[in-house]
Structure 1
């Protein structure tokens, strides 16, 4: 879908209809599967209730500041990640393409988790996975996924069919455009997700053993606050859960009108995401308290975060609790809603970049990028080695890809180009809540140090021992090979000529992008720009 022309013939950039739509879309991107199945166990493993202290510090000193960093770049330079960095400096363009390619990789494996959730929503009706924790674990790995290792390409028909449907829905939403597709989907799905998940949490609080689960979750171990690893875990959780550093929030903010309040939007998105994570922690541990106290045969040491929580522990729980089939459908519907809004935002990063680079219509960009992405996803993920592939791609894309490119972005922007004051002034020029020296210190000192420490630790660990004991050849292809491929492709894409952007040096002027001005403002500009008084009157 091609954006309509502005008065005077200039092609409009697509935009959200208002700030509230943008906020819902940003929350939809931030609130994803990691909020539900990652945060509760990161908190549990790092001091329980005491973890909320470093978590809050990380949110205020890195999460929200980095969110505003992305907002300021996308909003000031009015483009996708590659275009925005290209407008900063021609040699910075590869940074944007690395963000795009990391999003490409994440979308490839993220889609299959939605397919699993859709399958399990159906399985909830007859609870075919069994009744005990051991039975659900066996069903998930052997009967459902037929999990194997190596480079096998034996497809699982059911997952393949559902995965195709996931991609059709995702691309269908994106074909509709920024406002009609992304915006309207977020306005529908996010309130529905909150209602369903709140109902699930309330139900969990009345289960037998729920209080034991909450005590396990919230009981603080204050001694962990002296452990640097706990603080790194808090910052890592914030980085991963807010969708910062790999192009999503940068791209979304480029669709905001020029007079949008950026800092208040960032505060709403940041605190909404964290509130949902805490709500997820309450619901997850209340239900797990019931699971551990039931006859399902699960103990606290057996249950962990990630897919194991969603597709092993919760099915065992559903088999034990009254009204299990209903709550099973509700839980997996919540996973689908949370995952789909995030999936849409991840794919949009790639589509927007392709559209900016080539100048093609949204339809051509969506199909030209989305179909190959779907093809790669369908080739690698609904197979007997799909779980292995997902695990490796997720580990390397998050721990090295996202963390690494976020660190590079901060170093280049804050030190090499010294744009910190410029971005700060841009935020303050359009926002009610002002940022100052503290924001620059967070972006130039605090966050880079934390990211560098985390990246160094991850690389050292991954080099010293094979991740999860996987075959070195598989790790070489899907892990280190994927990272190397991203770097090489980012340089190649940067060398290709731009055909979709008029202005490549500095932020666009009015004539380059009038789409976020009202018709009266555009008319006044044309009158003021007319060559003589008589022409001005005619305009």
Structure 2
């Protein structure tokens, strides 16, 4: 007997949706990237844009290098001399990776039914840890100096285009713009969900978390600089260095360092876990929606998710070797580059504003929420957002700098070629797919192009699909009929 196609499903409650989005947008970048960018680019100018042991292991120093640096780079990662020296797999790190993938699997294996329950813990507990670290950090000597360096504005930096580029990239990454996660999570809402209110509160939550995390981080770094008698610039780092070197080294100087270390790393783990399984859900939902008759059957989702996790894990193995950090930095710099997201956002905004139609989108939002969107949104959809995205993308190409590791290691030329191929592998999928559809379509070239520029109106979600009688407003239906007749 053939298995029945399962329903797509909805969130169990509005709280589950909000926590899932919060868990996705509030991630590691809020803790280790945003505070450093604020300090680097002139304080709040960047904000305007948007177990008991005798000691913790990274305090036992055996050479002139920082103890935390030695522990992280030599004991945990055992970093080799270069990407050519890939070395052996670090089994401790591999076991951690296995544990995380197993956790992610069971977090989303039943779709939003399981994800919606997990986020009650994974999305809220980091805030408890952050609050504890904030209170502790602000009570340390030298904390005020750290906060001062974090917030001290430098108005002259506003004339530097690089500041605006970094602020814009942080906004794209922090809010998960253009990568599909928010679209997927929102697709499990009821038709009449108030997206306005959701956007407002989640944006405030994300930005507020970044600012508060900056206070928590730089108050501790200020204490570290105070204890060592050095400027805070010498202890402030960005990226993984802030989370795994600078902050742990500062924590080691506090009373009860084990307690504060546990709080910090539990927070980091949960922030990363949330972002990872929500990103996985975006991929799963996309594939299942493309092949619903095949994938929405009993056991199919679980089997495909297992296959997906295994593929990701085996691809990850090269990054948990002795030379894996070099590979990780290359992937982060090229494959996860902000320019790639900007390029995709250009196509997304053009498709939304010009092909799907700003007027049609405007009418659908009114039908869903019961209120008219601001006319300014139309200007953004049609002109402002695609032009800003395109301009930022071009600027990122003009200002491109080859990747280096820790400011001293220069990658071989073949790595740069591989990096650009990784970047192109993501950005060329959109125009490549369009070209494929254009070539394989029927009719003349003009007819095929015209057909590809028409939205699939018949499959738009409506209130009627959820038991109500009203469909799209009359003006939108009239516009749809007009477009169909003209096509």
Deviation at 1:226, TM superposition (A): 3.2
Pairing 1:189–2:122 present? yes
Paired with 2:77 and 2:225, the residues of 1 have a C-alpha distance of 25
TM-score (norm 2): 0.82
Give the C-alpha shift of residue 486 in structure 1. Answer: 3.1
What aligned pairs does 1:286-305 form with structure 2 within 5 A after superposition? 286-295=219-228, 299-305=232-238
- Determine helix, strand or coil for the equivalent of 1:255: coil
**Hey, what does 1:381 align to over in structure 2?**
319
Q: Distance in 2 between matches of 1:461 and 1:398?
A: 13
Matching residue within 4, 25, 44 for 2:39 = 44
Show CA shifts across 1:107-138 (max 9, x none).
xxxxxxxxxxxxxxx99984111267712112
TM-superposed deviation, 1:364:
2.7
Map of 1:159 onto structure 2: 93
Counterpart in the other structure of 1:425: 363
Between the aligned partners of 2:252 and 2:462, the Cα distance in structure 1 is 62
In the alignment, is residue 460 of structure 1 matched against residue 398 of structure 2?
Answer: yes
Alpha-carbon deviation of 1:250?
Answer: 0.9
CA deviation after TM superposition for structure 1 residue 493, in Å: 11
Are the equivalent residues in 1 in contact too, given 2:145–2:222 (CA < 8 A)? yes
Does 1:127 pair with 2:56?
yes
TM-score (norm 1): 0.74
Q: What CA distance in whole angstroms lies between the structure 2 residues aligned with 1:507 and 1:287?
A: 56
Aligned twin of 2:333:
395
Deviating more after overlay: 150-159 vs 312-321? 150-159
Task: Please report the RMSD computed on the Cα atoms of aligned residues, expressed in angstroms.
Answer: 3.1
1:253-307 per-position Cα deviation (integer Å, ceiling 9, x unaligned): 1111112111111111111100100100111111110011113977423421110
Secondary structure (helix, strand or coil) at the match of 2:59 reads coil
User: C-alpha separation between the residues in 2 aligned to 1:456 and 1:509?
Assistant: 34
- In 2, the alpha carbon distance for the partners of 1:138 and 1:283 equals 24
**Structure 1: gaps spanning 5 or more residues:** 56-121, 498-503, 526-539
1:227 offset after TM fit, Å? 3.1
2:422 aligned with 1:482, yes or no? yes
Shift of 1:183: 1.0
Contact 1:264 1:431 in 2 (8 A): no
Matched with 1:31 is: 26
Contact 1:129–1:136 (8 Å) recurs in 2: yes
- Deviations for 1:154-198, whole angstroms, at most 9, x for unmatched residues? 20110011101111110111113212x211111222221111111
How has the CA–CA distance of structure 1 residues 507 and 172 changed in structure 2, closer, same or farther, with 3 Å as cutoff?
Answer: farther
Judged with a 3 Å threshold, the aligned counterparts in structure 2 of structure 1 residues 510 and 245 are, in CA distance, closer, same or farther, namely closer
Distance 1:410 1:123 in 2: 54
Residue 457 (structure 2) pairs with residue 506 (structure 1): yes
Cα offset, 1:376, TM superposition? 1.1
Task: Write the mapping of 1:265-284 to structure 2, written as runs, cut at 5 A.
Answer: 265-284=198-217
The 2-side partners of 1:492 and 1:509 are apart by: 22
2:347 pairs, out of 395, 398, 408, with 408
Aligned counterpart, 1:205? 138
Q: CA deviation at 1:328?
A: 0.4
Match of 2:165, SS state, is helix
CA contact (8 A) 2:68 2:248 kept: yes
Gap regions ≥5 residues in structure 2: 441-454, 472-487
Q: 1:452 to 1:301 in 2, by over 3 A?
A: farther
Which structure carries more helix by proportion?
Answer: 1
Aligned residue in 2 for 1:169: 103
- Counting only pairs closer than 5 Å after superposition, residues 145-156 of structure 1 correspond to structure 2 as 145-148=77-80, 149-151=82-84, 152=86, 154-156=88-90
How far residue 485 of structure 1 moved from its aligned partner, in angstroms, is 2.9
Contact (CA 8 Å) 2:149, 2:232: kept in 1 or not? Answer: no
Question: Is the CA contact 1:131–1:319 (under 8 Å) kept in the aligned structure 2?
Answer: no
**SS where residue 311 of structure 2 aligns?**
helix
* Aligned counterpart, 2:270: 337
CA distance in 1, matches of 2:433, 2:168: 32
Report the Cα distance in structure 1 between the residues aligned to 2:464 and 2:278, rounded to whole angstroms.
Answer: 23
